[in-house]
């Protein structure tokens, strides 16, 4: 029958327990053996779903609402005096965020 | 240090965009615990444990879409690793699980106490695969019984039985060999 307690076992295994093993090129070897062509279809899938989204927006009329809002904004801008600093900053921030997000998605889909 | 939520973020980057950089980060994070796990299962055979770890990471990469995130990534990783080792044992034509003679030849990792480590590896030979896996995960990797049950795909009661039988066998082994260990 066992006479060694749980604590004693833990102490015994301390010699090999959670010992950090140096990489020594292991990660590089794994990455070299990973199939490269496996996920080439993914950018196509991403772009296909993007296209589906645009088509849904087109047929549901959402894209026209969006364009109308932009046109309205442009109209107001052309008939207005210089917009206030707050309006301009908010507009630029929104525009900047949209462009950054789009750039990230495009970058990641091609990486 | 990468947190568990970062694991999910990296996994999603690999699945959605096939990001090799994200997968490389996962390999870097888990190479040490995984190689250590195999090292304990193969009684310190470094070349074999590295081969099995490499096979596990390649399988992980190829089947990452099937990871549903209900269990943590590390649980899933160890589960795949356990299956890889199980398959290796089954496919091995030899009746012995590993070539024990290879163990001494390949043991060159830097470790604080080589003799004690080899004694522990030697003692693991008295255990069955399931007992060895449970003992390794519980005492050396500090996993909970619940997590081990998910890795080994068996009830917690079975894991406790494996641990109990493993402890008993090891205690008898150490007594039988007259091994003096300073439990202090």
Closest CB to A12: pick one of B109, B120, B142.
Answer: B120
Closest CA of chain B from A68, distance in Å: 34
| Rama region for B154: left / alpha / beta (φ>0; ψ in -120 to 50; rest) | beta
Look up the ipTM and state it: 0.73
Instruction: Identify the DSSP state of B154.
Output: S
> Looking at the partner chain, which of A19, A27, A40 has a beta carbon nearest the beta carbon of B31?
A27
Between helix B4-17 and helix A42-60 the angle, nearest 10°, is: 80
Q: How far is CA B14 from the centre of its chain?
A: 24
Residues 6+ apart with CB under 8 A from A88: none
Q: Which residues in chain A have Cβ-Cβ distances shorter than 8 Å to B172?
A: 2
Q: How far apart are CA B109 and CA A42, in angstroms?
A: 40
The answer to whether B17 contacts A111, with C-beta atoms less than 8 Å apart, is yes
CB contact under 8 A, B140 and A34: no
Is A35 in CB contact (< 8 Å) with chain B?
Answer: yes
Do residue B112 and residue A15 have CB atoms under 8 angstroms apart? yes
Closest listed residue to residue B143, CA positions, set B126, B128, B162: B162
Any idea what DSSP says for residue B95?
S
Query: Are B48 and B102 within 8 A, CB to CB?
Result: yes
pLDDT tens digits, residue range B23-76? 999 999 999 999 999 988 888 888 999 999 999 999 999 988 888 877 889 899
Distance CA B107, CA B79 (A): 25
- Please state, as a whole number, how many other Cβ atoms lie within 10 Å of the Cβ of residue A44: 10
Can you say whether the dihedral through the CA atoms of B159, B91, A32, B20 is positive or negative? negative
Cβ contact B181–A12 (<8 Å): yes
The whole-number pLDDT of residue B157 equals: 93
Name the residue facing B31 among A23, A108, A109 (closest C-beta). Answer: A23
The tens digit of pLDDT for each residue in A23-63 reads 989 999 999 988 875 555 567 887 888 899 989 988 888 88
């Amino acid at each position: 029958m066992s006479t060694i307690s749980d604590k004693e076992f833990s102490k015994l295994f301390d010699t090999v327990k959670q010992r950090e093993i140096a990489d020594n090129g292991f990660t590089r070897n794994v990455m070299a053996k990973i199939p490269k062509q496996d996920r080439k279809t993914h950018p196509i899938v991403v772009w296909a779903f993007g296209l589906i989204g645009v088509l849904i927006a087109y047929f549901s009329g959402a894209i026209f609402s969006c364009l109308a809002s932009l046109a309205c904004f442009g109209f107001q801008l052309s008939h207005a005096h210089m917009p206030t600093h707050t309006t301009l900053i908010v507009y630029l921030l929104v525009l900047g965020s949209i462009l950054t997000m789009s750039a990230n998605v495009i970058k990641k889909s091609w990486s | 240090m990468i947190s568990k939520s970062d694991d999910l973020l990296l996994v999603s980057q690999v699945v959605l965009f096939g990001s090799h950089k994200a997968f490389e980060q996962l390999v870097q994070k888990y190479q040490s615990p995984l190689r250590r796990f195999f090292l304990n299962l193969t009684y310190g055979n470094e070349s074999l444990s590295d081969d099995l770890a490499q096979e596990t990471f390649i399988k992980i990469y190829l089947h990452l879409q099937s990871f549903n995130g209900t269990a943590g990534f590390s649980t899933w990783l160890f589960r795949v690793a356990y299956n890889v080792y199980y398959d290796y044992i089954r496919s091995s034509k030899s009746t012995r699980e590993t070539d024990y003679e290879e163990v001494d030849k390949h043991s060159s990792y830097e470790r604080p106490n080589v003799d004690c480590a080899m004694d522990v590896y030697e003692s693991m030979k008295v255990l069955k695969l399931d007992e060895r896996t449970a003992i390794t995960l519980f005492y050396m990797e500090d996993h909970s019984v619940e997590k081990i049950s998910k890795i080994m795909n068996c009830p917690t009661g079975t894991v406790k039985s494996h641990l109990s039988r493993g402890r008993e066998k090891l205690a008898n082994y150490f007594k039988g060999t007259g091994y003096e260990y300073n439990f202090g």
